[in-house]
Copies of this chain bind each other. A is one copy, B any other.
């Protein structure tokens, strides 16, 4: 029986040439699938130093080795490319059904090359692939685009697409499927640069596995393991909508552009508060967690606004960044980013950066089209999201991300740009979870929490050991463990929310072996090495692009400003000059240096003793 190494389509938008290829056995053994295939093909095929937004860059969209199967929570998919934000390797993961559908069409991935002359979209089935005219789609938001494509290609279709922000090359545009996003690193920007609006897959739900019988049994067991997982149970209940409770408590919830680690009034944005506005839970393909909680604003100026999702990172992006505790504004902001097609983390972080520049006087109302960027002003945040997406006024600068915007603005703005390698920091302050922070500093894609999430620091995970979250080089092994382990699961593509860390150790390898027909995959050590191999090849990619130790750095603020856990002007105060005070106080009172009323003063007051 031949191995199931996976097939892919190479789609050249410049030439219109479309070729189907199989993954060679050697690559399948070494890289297995998902992120492994992503870096392997990108490394091998991309010439060094190409323009990320030029025709030479490639956009690889991949599902994992288990996608579309009867296993649960393994059908996430990802985009690998060279990032226009960082100039480094990019991988950005997305949920929903698109990854499973790509597999149903018979493919583990597609490599999109070149650049379409006119606005185009791709339509794929099991038997066909067409590059079609997108002139009717161009300008539509992500929801409209998907509706249009479902109308034209049937309900058995799934789409990944960009919105107006991707069309305008906003540097942190994402690729959307349903309301899920491959948000980070500007994957949507690369897609926009190729004049590609969408990829739609029409397919029936069949998937090829090497050993379907063995797989079926393993998948059944996996369902039980997931059900028992506390992480699964937690995310089923809450998704990530209450992580702000944890991070505020730990003092690592970044407020006012990473000046503070706790938000004054955060009791207004707790998980319980969001829950009051919850309207439902939405799951990705074959996942019972339904962790994507949808919300609807009921009261206030944003009443009626709805959003599917609003994960922790997005909650933060539209509250802590600008020091607003208006939940409704965060719902609308998330909705707008989804419609326009932008990464919420980079959007929120960049807006928080602009608010600080405004506070510091580096930006004035003349620069902001008259907008008032005072902390807490959520109406301005809403306005800025639209301006960024459409590159209007100040939005045209902020659309470049903090690193480039700081260069454009000058006047010392770069001190306030909170990014690593150009990728904006997410919602965990590095100073309060150093293992997370150093993961940001060293992650192949820049400041990504998902790249090596420090579960030990944040949630007290005890694998591989407990951590002191303020320790630095002492936790270097933890950072490596988290990064390699994550790379390993992303060959899956396993979702950790559905208890991934609980079922992976006993089951993942066996399932991979049954799916691919490569027995070594059942060996945990082998798999771990695959993770390390992926990580190492990503590093080689970045080195080839000129990145090295110098770029493995956190923003200056993290290295020079102590973390303050709450805004309070008294923080850190001490009584320093008691002697000077007493000197002056006694002098004013007409007392001696020893504090004894002088005879002159006594005479003045008519006190005779």
Contacts and interface: CB of A to CB of B under 8 A. Distances in A.
Interface of A: 30, 249-252, 261-262, 264, 267, 429-432, 434, 437-438, 441-442, 469-470, 472-473, 476-477, 479-480, 529, 532-533, 535-537, 539-540, 543, 548-549, 552-554, 558-566, 568-578, 580-589, 591, 593-597, 601-602, 605-607, 609
A583 B476 CA distance: 9
A288 to B, nearest CB: 35
* Most chain B CB inside 10 Å of its own CB: which residue of A473, A570, A589, A609: A570
Contact of A480 (B264, B548, B585): B585
A-B interface, 3 closest residue pairs, ranked by CB to CB distance from nearest: A251-B568, A432-B570, A565-B568
A462 B168 CA distance: 53
A349 B565 CA distance: 25
A573 B562 contact: yes
The count of identical subunits is 2
A578 B559 contact: yes
A234 B571 CA distance: 28
Nearest to A441: B578
A594 B548 contact: yes
A594 B593 CA distance: 62
B595 A539 contact: yes
Contacts of A587: 476
Contact of A552 (B252, B479, B537, B582): B582
Nearest to A266: B267
B570 A250 contact: yes
Given A566-B565, A568-B251, A582-B552, A574 B559 contact: yes
A601 B562 contact: no
B588 A575 contact: no
B431 A575 contact: yes
Contacts of A540: 597, 607, 609
B582 A480 contact: no
Nearest to A580: B473
* Most chain B CB inside 10 Å of its own CB: which residue of A477, A535, A540, A574: A574
Nearest to A481: B588
A553 B578 contact: yes
Contact of A571 (B251, B476, B573, B574): B251
A601 B432 CA distance: 32
Contacts of A560: 574
Contacts of A570: 250-252, 261, 429, 431-432, 469-470, 563, 565
Given A536-B597, A585-B476, A594-B549, A431 B566 contact: no
Given A251-B566, A549-B594, A559-B574, 9 more contacts: A30-B606, A250-B570, A251-B569, A432-B569, A472-B580, A529-B605, A536-B602, A540-B607, A572-B572
A473 B606 contact: no
B480 A549 contact: no
A578 B440 CA distance: 12
Contacts of A250: 568-570
A470 B573 contact: yes
Given A543-B596, A569-B251, A581 B472 contact: yes
A583 B262 CA distance: 31
A548 to B, nearest CB: 5
A99 to B, nearest CB: 27
A434 B569 CA distance: 13
Nearest to A438: B581
A358 to B, nearest CB: 23
Contacts of A591: 539
A552 B595 contact: yes
A564 B571 contact: yes
Contact of A566 (B568, B569, B597): B568
A174 to B, nearest CB: 29
Contacts of A543: 595-596
A596 B548 contact: yes
Nearest to A529: B605
B575 A536 contact: no
Given A250-B570, A476-B581, A570-B250, A559 B575 contact: yes
Contacts of A529: 605
A468 to B, nearest CB: 10
B539 A261 contact: no
Nearest to A432: B570
A256 to B, nearest CB: 15
B548 A562 contact: no
Contacts of A30: 606
Contact of A554 (B558, B571, B578): B578
Contacts of A559: 574-576, 578
Nearest to A43: B609
Contacts of A479: 585
A473 B584 contact: yes
Contacts of A584: 473, 476
A261 B573 CA distance: 10
